[in-house]
Every structure is written in structure tokens, then in C-alpha cells.
Structure 1
Amino acid sequence: MEHAPGGPGDQTPPQPQSTPVCYRHPGRETGIRCIRCERPICGDCMVSASVGFQCPECVRGGSGTGHAPAANRPRTLAGGAVAADPHLFTKILIGINVAVFIAVQAHSSLLNDLVLIGRWPPAPFAPQEGVAQGDWYRMVSSMFAHQEYWHIGFNMLSLWFLGGPLEAALGRARYLALYLVSGLAGSALTYLLADPSQATLGASGAIFGLFGATAALVRRLNADMRPVIALLVINLILTFGWANIAWQAHIGGLVAGVVVGFAMLHVPRERRTLVQYGSCALVLVVVVGLTLLRTAQLT
């Protein structure tokens, strides 16, 4: 064993630990942290939560060593309130999509008023309708409209499997903001780049936003990213390889979901509310800007 040079009074400076140790068992290295107080915990200390794990003191609601949250009310990973039913908003969103689908099946003419279309019919024919003519609501209504059974089936299954864990991790308000902002980003990019006379519809933009936020969640939990990346790659291959798919909505929603997801899950607790909702506001500003730009081009 070698010693650092110097006299008897010299001391070797402590080396930083490469892996955190459990705050209750200092001899045990761990890569898991409590989702509430963010202290490292070992396998014997971690208590399963709706998403991730909590330490025993946070489960009991105590203040512990002073690093636990000051409020006793349980919080989600992103700082939202823990709800009795952590999947309620996911169920509501699925219900809205299904209700609109049933209405469209019963009255097929309704679909014409819901789809996202820039301008129809093409100039110089009149009268015209579409987002460029003031039908701004189509940016939202198209997010809940489906025509084919396979389309709504695939989207609702994706919403259930992706939305549930995200709602539990973010809390209801943040989860709903993520969903709507991602869907609007998809609509805006479609409106900007797609043929203005091409009608588009579906929740895919919002769903891809959930994909992006799921990647942020998996990264936050230090879990294996490979399954999420593989699933996302498969969906992107289908996006660009399958005819009649609005790839613009998928890409717009995905980018918005990554931005908002990382802002909600990877910021310091001291200013996370400002950053979380600030990121949503920033994406909305971009959405409005792109929409105004495209409207100016078409009018």
C-alpha cells in the first residue's frame, strides 16, 4: 500500500463516492432515491409507490433528519398532489375520445366539422372553411376525432399504457397540461407543413407527446431506457413507412412531450413549478406563432 508523501501531520483528502449510499444504511451503495425527498435508499428501505419508491420516513409523513418535505401531504414525482385514483384523467380522456368516435359513427357529417384542415376548398373557390378562415377550434377538436376502428383502438391502448404511469408521476394538472400542449404542438406542425386541403385527425400528436415524456420519466427513475427507445423507434418507422399518416403531428407532439416532460421531471424542487408551467407556456407561444405564420401564408 502506497501513502501520499508528506509528514505525519499530512492527511489524504477524502475521495468522492462514485455511488450514493443509503441514508439509513451508510454501508450500502444504491442507485435508488426516494421520489419525495430524493435521499438515496437501499432495497430494505424502499417502499413501493404508484411510481418509483419512497423512504420509510416519507411514507410515515415525518420530517426525519430535516431533508424530507416540509408538508406532510404526499406529492408525486413532479410535485403534484397524489390523488386517490391516479388514472382518473387518463380514463376521462379515453372516454372523451370514445364518445366523439361514437358520435362520428352515428353522424358521419360531424367529422367534417372536427378534422384539422388548413383551407377548403382550394382557392379561388368559395366559401372556404378551415383554420386559415378562423376555425381555430379545429386545432383541438381534431385531437379527439377518429374515423377508423383500428385508429382509435391503437391510440386508446397507447393512451392507457403510457398515460397511467405518467399521470401518477406528474399529478393530474401537469399531466393534462402535457397532453393538451403535445396535441396542440402536433396540430400546429401539421397545419404549418401539410397540404392545407388535406384533412387530418386523431390523438396521435398527444400520444407521441406521452412517448417523449415517458422517456423523461424512465430517465428520472434511472430505469432501463432500451425498451422505451425500441418502442419509439418502431412507432417512428410506422410513422414514415405507413401511408396516410400525418408524420408532422407525431413529430410535433414528440418534441413537445420531450421538452415538457424533462422540464417537469428534471428540474430542482426550488423552482420546478415555474419551470414546469413555463415550459408549457413556451410551447404554446411556439404553437401560436406557427399558427399565425401559416395563416398569413394562406390568406
Structure 2
Amino acid sequence: MEQAQAPQCYRHPGVETGIRCTRCERPICTDCMVDASVGFQCPDCVRNGSGTGHAPSANQPRTVAGGRITGGDPQLITKIIIAVNLAVFFAVLAVPQLDDRLSLVGLAYDPQLGEVVGIADGEWYRLLTSAFLHQAIWHIGFNMLGVWWLGGPLEAALGRARYLALYLLSALAGSALTYLIAAQNQPSLGASGAVFGLLGATVVLVRRLKYDMRPVMALLVLNLVLTFFWEGIAWQAHIGGLIAGAVIAYGMVGGSRERRAVMQWGACGLVLALSLVTVVVRTVALS
């Protein structure tokens, strides 16, 4: 006889639970349930005023990663990231010298600027500023489509702060690996490291929620094929971002509720530390 499947939390598909809201009777997991005078209530019933006597924090439903779900645009950070990338793109069109000042380069003499430039010369800001630069309209177009398609669902699932940390740390890790492996005078730019971080996080999240893995795995394989067979792509940034995004996402959604904070801080700290160590090692080697 086939065993009956346990109900799943209506806010966290894939999370099985035996708890139901005493008001609407929808299944809720331990992350969503709010103490009531009798039993538990879901965040929606509490927010809509169905319950009484709750703590102030009861009106704050949480994401699968434990982040608070705030009001307003659920894709606010994603839209800001896209807007910043577009603003930088048009700024470089107006002032081309910005490209030489902000792109990722290890150590090189720039004839246009008439000086030695690069991360090894103390310009560490290039590790992040390069992730907001793009060469052409098709370049920024593809990357921003990736941010829009992958970023929106991730922002909703992780919460704004965690999502922003994922994006920036993936960009940093991609730049750090590029700095370590690529030629010291080879310039690199683009948000692809961050986008691959979002892709790696999506794979982890889809697996965590027990959704169909085939579409996201097909997307991953396609992007990896393009990474290694399309001429002129900085594969180091793609691989660095992909690994960082997967590690951070696992830390954010992979642990139990009791260990969640430790795993989230630990995953972000690990990626940050390894990125900084990589930069230091490469800088010493170029000194």
C-alpha cells in the first residue's frame, strides 16, 4: 500500500509538516507557526488581525532562509542591482576612461592613463567595481536577463539582506579566482561571476525545495558549455561565482532551524575569507 504523503507548508513548498493553522487550517512549518491562545496560527492570519495577544515579531513571516518578509516590492534589490549596472554602463559610454579605472586587472601599465594600475598596486576596489562594468549592449543585456530571471525568485526565497550578500560575495569570489589565475595584465569585467553565483544558488534552492531539477540542471550545463567553448569568456569568474553561490546558498537553506544562523554566517565568512586569502596570495606573488 502506498504511504500517504505528509502535507507541505503552504509558504515553503517541499517542507513537510503536521501542524495546521487553527484559523484557516492551512499546513504550516515550524518556521511559520505563531503561538496562539489555542494551538498555532499562520503569519497571514496574524497579519490580517485574526489573532490576538502575539508578540510584535509575530507579524513578520519569514522566508525559507529565515529572513523577514517585508512589505513593498519583492524584487526591490534585484531591480536596484540592474539599475546600478545600467547606470555604470551609460556612465562609461559618457566617460570611457572609467573603464580603465574600474575594470579588473592584476598589474599593468596603462598607456591611456600613463601609470601602473591594478589590484596588486593597491586598487582592490577593482574586484567589485569590475562586476558592474560591461563591454557592449549584448553583454549587459544577457547578464541583466540572468539577474532578472534568477534573482527575483532568490530574493523572495532568501530575503533582501541574504540575497544581496549572495550576489556581492559571488561577484567577489569570481573576481578573486580571475585575479589568481588570469594573466596579470589581462583585463576582465562583467557581472557574470555574480550571475553564476545566482545560478549555483538556484540549483541548491531547487534541490532543497524538492522541485524538478531537470530545467535548472539543463540551464547549468548549457552555461558551462558556453563558458568553456565561447572565445573571450573569463571562465575563472564563472567558476568562482558558481562555487561561491552554491556554498552560500547551502549555508542559508541547508541547515536545521537551530543551526541556521551559524551556517549562514559561516558560509558567507568562508567565501569572504577564501576570496581575501586568494587576493593576498596573488598580490604577494606579483610584488
- The 5 A counterparts of 1:73-222 are 73-84=60-71, 85-121=73-109, 127-222=115-210
How far apart are 1:109 and its partner, in Å? 1.6
Partner of 1:274: 262
Gapped regions of structure 1 (runs ≥ 5): 1-16, 20-27, 48-52, 65-69
How far apart are 1:71 and its partner, in Å? 3.4
How much is the aligned-residue C-alpha RMSD, in angstroms? 3.0
Partner of 2:54: none
Gapped regions of structure 2 (runs ≥ 5): 35-39, 52-56
Q: Any idea what the Cα deviations from partners look like across 1:94-128, whole Å, max 9, x if unmatched?
A: 00000000001111121001100001129xxx942
| AA partner of residue 231 (structure 2) | A
Structure 2 CA distance for partners of 1:152 and 1:278, relative to 1, 3 Å: same
Structure 2 CA distance for partners of 1:193 and 1:77, relative to 1, 3 Å: same
Partner of 1:24: none
Separation in 1, partners of 2:58, 2:12: 11
Q: Any idea what the Cα deviations from partners look like across 1:123-177, whole Å, max 9, x if unmatched?
A: xxx9421000000000010010112111000000000010000000000000000
Structure 2 CA distance for partners of 1:258 and 1:45, relative to 1, 3 Å: farther
- Contact 2:171-2:197 at 8 Å conserved across structures: yes
| AA partner of residue 32 (structure 1) | Q
Indicate the SS of the match to 1:128: strand
Separation in 2, partners of 1:145, 1:248: 17
- The 5 A counterparts of 1:218-229 are 218-229=206-217
Separation in 2, partners of 1:256, 1:263: 11
Structure 2 CA distance for partners of 1:41 and 1:165, relative to 1, 3 Å: farther
Separation in 2, partners of 1:270, 1:212: 24
- Contact 2:198-2:242 at 8 Å conserved across structures: yes
- Contact 2:177-2:237 at 8 Å conserved across structures: yes
Q: Which structure: larger Rg?
A: 1
Structure 1 length-normalised TM: 0.80
- Contact 2:6-2:16 at 8 Å conserved across structures: no
